[in-house]
Amino acid sequence: MNSILPLLPTKALSDALKASYIRETAYEDVHAIQFRKNVASYIQAAKLEMAPIARYTLAYEALHAIAVGVLYVHGLAPGNREGHRTQALSLMYGFLDLDLDDRSEITHASQTRNDKLYKSLAPPPSSATATYLLELAERVEKIARQKLPGWFALA
């Protein structure tokens, strides 16, 4: 089967590539499918009964996997420099046309994750906060399905 992927980069992705925020990578359908499966696995796991910090982290990882998947279906990958996760998320915002509230929530989740991993200053998220981030990840996945039907059609 011939895939319709990788897609041509948008202007924003081309600009990020020229600025070395992201890099080109070899595309294969099997890897695009795996990114999509990772998203589904993180979302499914975040629904399990566990500590809110674990559910929150899994929901955040689902969002990041969507961001990396968006790049990958364009034959691109995050760069190897500091802030590569934030950059991937930022590029996803524009590509998926996420609203300002969703962008703010995802940015806050990224900062919270970094504080917990690197600074340990942030208190653990509440169960309600973890649930909200999971719901956001599910909404963003739905938007990605609409914007990238070729990615979700791969079998």
Portion of the chain with pLDDT greater than 90, in percent: 83
Residue range 55-71: average pLDDT? 97
Can you tell me whether residue 43 is helix, strand or coil?
A: helix
- Please write the tens of the pLDDT for every residue from 116-128: 767 766 678 899 9
pLDDT band at 2 (very low <50, low <70, confident <90, very high): low
- Whether 61 has a pLDDT exceeding 60, the answer reads yes
Mean pLDDT of the 129-152 span: 97
pTM score of the predicted model: 0.93
Q: Amino acid letter at 63?
A: L
pLDDT value of residue 122: 64
Question: Which sequence spans correspond to the domains of the chain?
Answer: 29-151
Backbone angles phi, psi at 2, to 5 degrees: -90, 125
Strand partners, 77: 23
Give me the pLDDT at residue 83, please: 85
pLDDT of 150 strictly over 50 = yes
The pLDDT score that the predictor gives to residue 82 is 84
Given a cut of 50, whether residue 1 has pLDDT beyond it is: no
pLDDT mean over 86-93: 96
Q: Quote the mean pLDDT of the chain.
A: 93
CATH class of the domain whose range is 29-151 = mainly alpha
Identify the pLDDT of residue 9. Answer: 93
| C-alpha–C-alpha distance, residues 1 and 44, integer Å | 29
Distance CA 74, CA 58 (A): 25
